[in-house]
Amino acid sequence: MTPSGKALPPGAALAGIPSAIRATGPWAGRRQLFVKFAGIAETATMFTADALRSELTRLTQRSVYHSIAICGGDPLGEAEFIAAALAGGAPLGVMLDHDGQRPEALDRVIGSLALVQVTMTGTEDDAAVARAMATVRRAAEKRVTHAIALLPEANPSDGRLLRIVEQAQAASAETSVVVHPTTESMSSDRSWLAWLERAAGVHGDVRLLARLPAPTGMR
């Protein structure tokens, strides 16, 4: 509390605000500012919401970016902080890149977002997939652009990935599904061509893109 009795602006631990190229999802290849929440064992700096808002404004005035990405750690665990930092609008369009496991927290921030991206690996259990699809449905209900970025393992289950695409279609026909196989599997395994044909038969917006590796690419 401040001496006047007012609550202090919420604060959060960030692993930084780097600039890089978006590696995944429908905005892949775009230059972004990444607001990265710190994960376990990451070096972090505490930011207040006001400090983050000011820093984003300063950075976007110094260089040209397509958008701002909120990512890393568990961003919707800090929904109050994000809402406070984006209150009054952001200098650029904002995307949220997360695992979709907190659909109930999405309403707190969704009014400030241009894109809700749920990133999955294809190894999630049924309960985790259900929560991710609930997040997609909520974004669709609020008419916010929404996407699923699938980052499968080197040898994913074709059927498992296809079921996720089917569930995405059921959650919202407007979902953009972008699958990022490893570079090795794309160059050596033509089964991705057959898989994409099957996936396109159940959902109208599915595409394959190679991953842009770090440090140039970031998610």
Q: Is residue 2 part of a domain?
A: no
| pLDDT score, position 5 | 47
Chain centre to alpha carbon of residue 162: 20
Q: pLDDT value at position 111?
A: 96
Token readout for 197 is: 């044909």
Spatial separation of the C-alpha atoms in residues 199 and 177, rounded to whole Å? 10
Look at residue 42 in the predicted model and tell me its pLDDT: 82
Task: Calculate the CA dihedral of residues 164, 167, 119, 180 and round it to 10 degrees.
Answer: 40
Instruction: Specify whether the CB–CB gap between 196 and 181 falls below 8 A.
Output: no
The pLDDT, as a whole number, for residue 7 is: 58
For residue 40, the model assigns a pLDDT of 81
- Stated pTM of the model: 0.91
pLDDT for residue 183: 66
> What is the domain extent for residue 69?
11-218
Tokens of 124: 């999630």
In a domain, 1, yes or no: no
| Any domain includes 4 | no
| Residue 36 maps to a domain | yes
Residues of the chain with pLDDT under 70: 1-9, 154, 183-188
> Does residue 82 belong to any structural domain of this protein?
yes
**Residue 28's CATH number:** 3.20.20.70
User: What's the confidence (pLDDT) of residue 191?
Assistant: 86
**Total domain count for the chain?**
1
Answer yes or no: is 6 within a domain: no
| pLDDT attached to residue 39 | 84
Indicate the SS3 state at residue 2. Answer: coil
